[in-house]
Amino acid sequence: MTNLSVNINKIATLRNARGENNPDVVAVAQDCERFGAQGITVHPRPDERHIRRSDVYALRPVVKTEFNMEGNPTPEFIDLVLAVKPEQVTLVPDPEGALTSNAGWDVDKNFEFLSETVDRFKEAGIRTSIFVAPDDEQIRFAARTGADRVELYTKPYADLYAKDPAAAVAPYAEASRTAHSVGLGVNAGHDLSLKNLAYFHTNVPYLNEVSIGHALICDALYLGLEETIKQYLKCLSGK
């Protein structure tokens, strides 16, 4: 079974536009779970332009499924994760001010730093995932850091999908097989949508979790949040 983790950053972006608490990110997270999502993802950035540190603390006691925090492992982020202790942390190489995540780690180049960071989180009992491109070498290095999972960066898949689905998904299927062979779980995320998710899920083996935010919230503007989550879950059901 592949779990759906809903990234609620865009809910916080909408709230922050007015400076009040509407929509309420905590209430939306609870609704996502009530509608069937198996996890909630947040990506707090240093400028707090969407999810704030206060949101992370408010969400931790109310998220009853799986709480996933993703971000660049700066000292401040590491301290926040260790204080909150989510079920999962996803390490993403976002430079400060990045509009969105746009690349996976060069794990070889950052091996010592990532290994030390993974050790700190695992000592705290937090499952750790490393954000990578579908590259066999990087995945093998990720396994050597002691990480539990990798998250495959799926924007290249989404960009090519409409033109050539088979070519788009092939490197991800191979990457997932490689990850499985070296003992890593497999997550995926970035630009997955109702248009391309079912095909990805059908063709990528060993997929533990997808994290989806922007496309899901856009779809919810037309379909409503409950119906949107149902449709994403259907894409992951194999039916």
Provide the annotated active-site residues.
Answer: 43, 70, 190
Spell out the alpha helix ranges (H) of the chain. 9-16, 25-34, 53-59, 75-84, 111-123, 136-144, 155-161, 165-181, 197-203, 214-223, 225-235
CA 165, 101, 209, 228 torsion: positive or negative?
A: negative
Q: Which pair of tokens denotes residue 69?
A: 């925090």
Distance CA 189, CA 153 (A): 6
130 burial (CB, 10 Å; 0-12 / 13-18 / 19+) is: buried
**Scanning the structure block, which residue is given the tokens 């799926």?**
154
